[in-house]
Structure 1
């Protein structure tokens, strides 16, 4: 009888030990809310005698991993994505844990300024399509938050940046600046050239045309190319502007490259290249 009780106790201990060594899936991530084109770190926290780890990262890069700690997982597209971890021991016992990651897209910092040049004192009207609560403006050393539009008077001559930083609820940021040229009466014969970095040809009568701002330009050549290197626009005069069309069709949203070569009446040579964003 005593031996039988000892055997039963021994079997119970062995059974409890076997249960304690069964895998229990668990992991931690550096954040459940991230910005597009950002990464998170993933670390295993599982317990038990585990022989195999199987990760699946929906919408992530990499998408799968068999490492215990897969490291950094990156996301390029906004949305809600699941992470799955399956752990297995040598006996075939397995367990599953999961989590959800929300990937947010930044709010484009699109700036409209009218006028972009003029004689001091110059009163300019500034606006954006971004929600007011996501906007912070930086003008002449001062910052202004919570406004999608404002006005500002430049009292002195010179070139001034109007900058906008947008921050969405995920903390994702975007920024852009527009240059404003202000001259005094004595400088009004000086040539200048200002190129915007964004336009929105959506027929709302606001910023529908890619328009440079210039004065006293005597020679001009401008060209615009898409991301495949195809020329979508050219002009031999600064007052000929691009409406976002190519061969009678609207161009896709995206980033385009411009090259401008010009000469001012004061002899100044302009050789400018950069990118502009088309956003309908």
Structure 2
């Protein structure tokens, strides 16, 4: 039996039953004709119906007035009427409903997963007016049951801190391991935990829906016994202070403190230290100052029992007079000794104390020197801020000895055989074709790019030292790198004509001609003399020939010329006919050539149909088309290739298959 559509209210139908007449049939038909319009009206409860039902938790059978998402519930009529269960319908929705299906007689339902308000509508027969029904609904609140939000922090052995930050529930219990759950409130609480406990379980629930609850368990590793932290080093950097310490215990928290007589205990906290860190830079630090690292935990249960040794900063001042640098320093705690470093290198050691002085005489005017003082006390190393000062001098530096050599990119590399002292520089000058040009100033290697490379006008270079005090040396001796030229011979062979200028303009140097690969690697070495040479047997497998000259001066100085290249053209040989008759002679069409890197050969018949395509020398044509016996005739081809330089090459023509 299909359920009645009870949106036709029983209160209106009942008088019509009592006044039923033949004319009512016509009226009823008219009402049915208007039914779609009435069906749009919202569904409401039948007034004064006496209907009633209760909601029970399906698992505990307890009556409930609030629900939980996903909860299984059972519905029971409580009107006292003798109702037929097959004609009693229930539906869960967001509003009162009047439309029911045959399966809606089920009384065990599952609450939807969306929290909020839910409407349970009951549709029962009206026993007083047969053929009509009663609509009755109840609105209940649906609560979500997620896991409660909380964190667990381990403290010193025997304690744990639980922080409940959940905003969903209004009631909580906390269970330590397998212990008895105890009521708790949102917020942070420290608990004493028995030995062997390694988990905390928090259950959240609602006062309005006690059966709706969520549970979450967090396991933890009990903290190891606390150890005294080790402060290793503190270094002053301007107004900042850099700290380094040993490995910290991840289970604990740490604070950095500075000595302060006005603070309780004589120390004041300046920073919280992550247990995962091994260093810290403290800006705007208290200087001078004495610092320590203290272990603590979330429960504040360790007090000041675990503190590192105290390290005090070193204050350094430096002055320069009469070509000497004077250092003075003090520190807040007696040190077992001091180390003096200059430019990062150990300069001297002094004895114990809280202060000291040092006079550095081994200095050069015009050079900058950076000093630090390192003190050791109670296992803590304290490094002062760096102090940098410059010394004055009027001594003229000696003239440098320079080398000039081309690199693989044809830039002249200019260097000095004497080391350039810090702060000094070298001024290089080029003389070429009667013109003198200052190339530049450098403290090390200088690169000079030339617009013109000619054997007839080679460049020559001189250099002068300049120290930081403005003193300049005389010019060095002139050096001239070798200029190399290469051209193909005019007889259309592979031979290459080479000529070069003399190293440093002298005729007594020895020369090695180098043949290079694309990456500059040496492929062949040939001793040459004079200033010309003809390479009659260059490699046949290289399209681009790259040459470089290695020149060695009588004194042993080695210099390289510029790199010159000769590019040979791509060559292709493609037969005009072949005889694929199986006699082993001229049976296939194949391409021969040199310097070919990629190619594509397409052959078409007289109808323009493509009959063969090749992209590799291994793919040769035997004249067959789709496996068929070769057909004598003329075929056209298009050959596209690229050489080692990437230059394209295209050739078209015809090839004949002969019997």
For Structure 1 versus Structure 2, the TM-score category normalised by the shorter chain is 0.3 to 0.5
TM-score of the aligned structures, taking structure 2 as reference length: 0.21
